[in-house]
């Protein structure tokens, strides 16, 4: 039996689009074109998508070696054939899974490129397995793309009972980290990559405030290998306490998170302080993502340093201090100078002095922040805890 190792996108598990085999309005046609979670206008964000290496098990049905056949074979009712199968491993500890192909179909969709925001409308081919898993079976138009989201528009074709083997989306990546973070705004929760300068975001202290500038930095595998200190920090849902964040939150190591409670009150004289995410990695549910291949960081600059809600958790906007200004690319420095002409041509330290931002909360220095984390861990206290009345 020929097998083919290819790369495709895993979309998730869905109800059966082809529930009645050998029956349909036309031969070889799925009865359904939509099920819950799979329908026109559904958007799959980066957190919903996973690039997976799969094995196509081509059982050469009818001596057809170039085709993956499904089990909806209306012209073979007298001699039903189950179809070919797919083997995949999502890396979730459940090991390799093999399931037979239930249906193959085309759907019109738009995929958005993470680095440019460019949208490409195309007809994408998908397969659904008997266990409900849906994968793309797309080829060259996804090669070497980094995708931030896919939006479904509607069915194209589903009147065939197989698809080609050896299609592979080589070099495909999903922008998995930082983008996809939901920021609270007056119009609801908005993914950070969908925000633009001028948009309003809700702040913890001062209500709605406009974004002046959004910085975007993309790091690939080579960057992260040469500068491991830039690897992202994962804050798992609920790890901060009080049920926060409400979903896994990924931030840059320097991104400061609100810490509140009796321990910061005793150590710093203030019940609420800001601590860099990297200083909290010894706490349960907070860790460095060591194996990421790519990350895109977004930084929101407001007129004042503020706290906003990111996946429900209070986190800082960009603090225009020496560290942040020194990490900017020349293009980013030019963009910021257009907003603040007084810093044009200045060194990071002089630019920070000229802007003289006031921090939204006390910024805990590194050594004391690590000591804070040690005390939180020793006492079994969450970073965000209720204060005694």
Torsion of CA 226, 311, 136, 128, to 10 degrees: 140
Q: How many residues belong to the chain?
A: 389
Report the distance separating Cα 249 and Cα 47, nearest Å: 11
Chain CA centroid to CA 256, Å: 20
**Is residue 193 classed as helix, strand or coil in its secondary structure?**
helix
Q: What pLDDT sits at residue 24? A: 44
Rama region for 261: left / alpha / beta (φ>0; ψ in -120 to 50; rest): left
Closest to 89 in 3D by CA, of 79, 80, 81, 98: 98
- From residue 69, alpha-carbon distances to 4, 9, 185 in Å are 14, 19, 47
Instruction: Please name each of the domains of the chain with its CATH number.
Output: 3-164 (no CATH), 177-319+357-379 (2.170.16.10)
The 3-state secondary structure of 39-54 reads CCCCEEEHHHCEEEEE
The owner of tokens 């080829």 is 139
Prior bond of 216 cis (ω within 30°): no
At 254, list the tokens: 């320097």
At 261, list the tokens: 């409670």
Q: What pLDDT sits at residue 177? A: 39
Report the distance separating Cα 52 and Cα 8, nearest Å: 6
DSSP assignments along 63-112, one per residue? G-TTEEE-S--GGGTTS-----EEEE--SSSS--EEEEEEEEEEEEEEEE
Chain CA centroid to CA 57, Å: 30
Q: What pLDDT sits at residue 5? A: 87
How many CA atoms does the CB half-sphere of 205 hold within 13 Å? 13
What is the mean pLDDT, run by run of 10 residues, along the chain of 389 residues?
85 89 54 88 81 81 67 56 82 80 89 72 89 86 78 80 73 59 94 91 96 84 81 91 90 92 96 95 90 81 94 92 77 82 85 85 92 95 76
Report the distance separating Cα 39 and Cα 99, nearest Å: 23
Q: What pLDDT sits at residue 175? A: 46
């Amino acid at each position: 039996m020929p097998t083919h190792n290819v790369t495709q996108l895993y979309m998730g598990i869905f109800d059966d689009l082809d529930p009645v085999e050998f029956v349909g309005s036309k031969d070889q046609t799925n009865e359904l074109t939509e099920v819950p979670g799979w329908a026109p206008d559904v958007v799959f964000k980066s957190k919903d998508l996973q690039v997976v290496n799969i094995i196509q098990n081509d059982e050469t049905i009818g001596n057809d070696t170039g085709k993956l056949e499904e089990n909806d074979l209306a012209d073979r009712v007298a001699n039903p054939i189950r179809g070919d199968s797919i083997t995949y491993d999502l890396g979730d500890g459940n090991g390799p899974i093999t399931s037979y192909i239930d249906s193959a179909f085309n759907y019109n969709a738009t995929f958005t490129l993470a680095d440019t925001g460019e949208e490409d409308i195309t007809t994408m081919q998908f397969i659904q397995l008997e266990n409900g898993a849906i994968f793309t079976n797309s080829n060259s138009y996804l090669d070497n793309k980094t995708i931030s989201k896919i939006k479904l528009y509607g069915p194209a074709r589903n009147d065939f009972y197989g698809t080609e083997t050896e299609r592979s989306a080589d070099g495909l990546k999903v922008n998995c980290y930082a983008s996809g973070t939901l920021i609270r705004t007056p119009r609801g929760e908005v993914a950070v990559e969908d925000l633009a300068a001028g948009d309003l975001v809700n702040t913890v202290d001062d209500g709605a405030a406009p974004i002046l500038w959004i910085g975007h930095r993309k790091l690939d595998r080579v960057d992260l290998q040469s500068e491991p200190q830039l690897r992202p920090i994962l804050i798992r849902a609920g790890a901060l306490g009080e049920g926060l964040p409400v979903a896994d939150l990924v931030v840059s190591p320097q991104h400061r998170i609100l810490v509140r409670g009796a321990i910061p009150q005793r150590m710093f004289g203030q019940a609420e302080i800001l601590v860099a995410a990297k200083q909290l990695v010894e706490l349960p549910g907070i860790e460095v993502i060591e194996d990421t291949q790519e990350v895109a960081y977004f930084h929101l600059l407001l007129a004042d340093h503020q706290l906003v809600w990111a996946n429900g958790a209070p986190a800082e906007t960009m603090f225009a201090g020496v560290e942040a200004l020194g990490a900017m690319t020349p293009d980013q420095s030019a963009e910021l100078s257009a907003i603040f002409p007084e810093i044009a041509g200045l060194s990071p330290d002089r630019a920070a002095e000229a802007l003289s931002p006031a921090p939204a909360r006390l910024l805990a220095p590194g050594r004391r922040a690590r000591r804070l984390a040690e005390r939180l861990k020793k006492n079994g206290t969450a970073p965000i805890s209720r204060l005694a009345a």
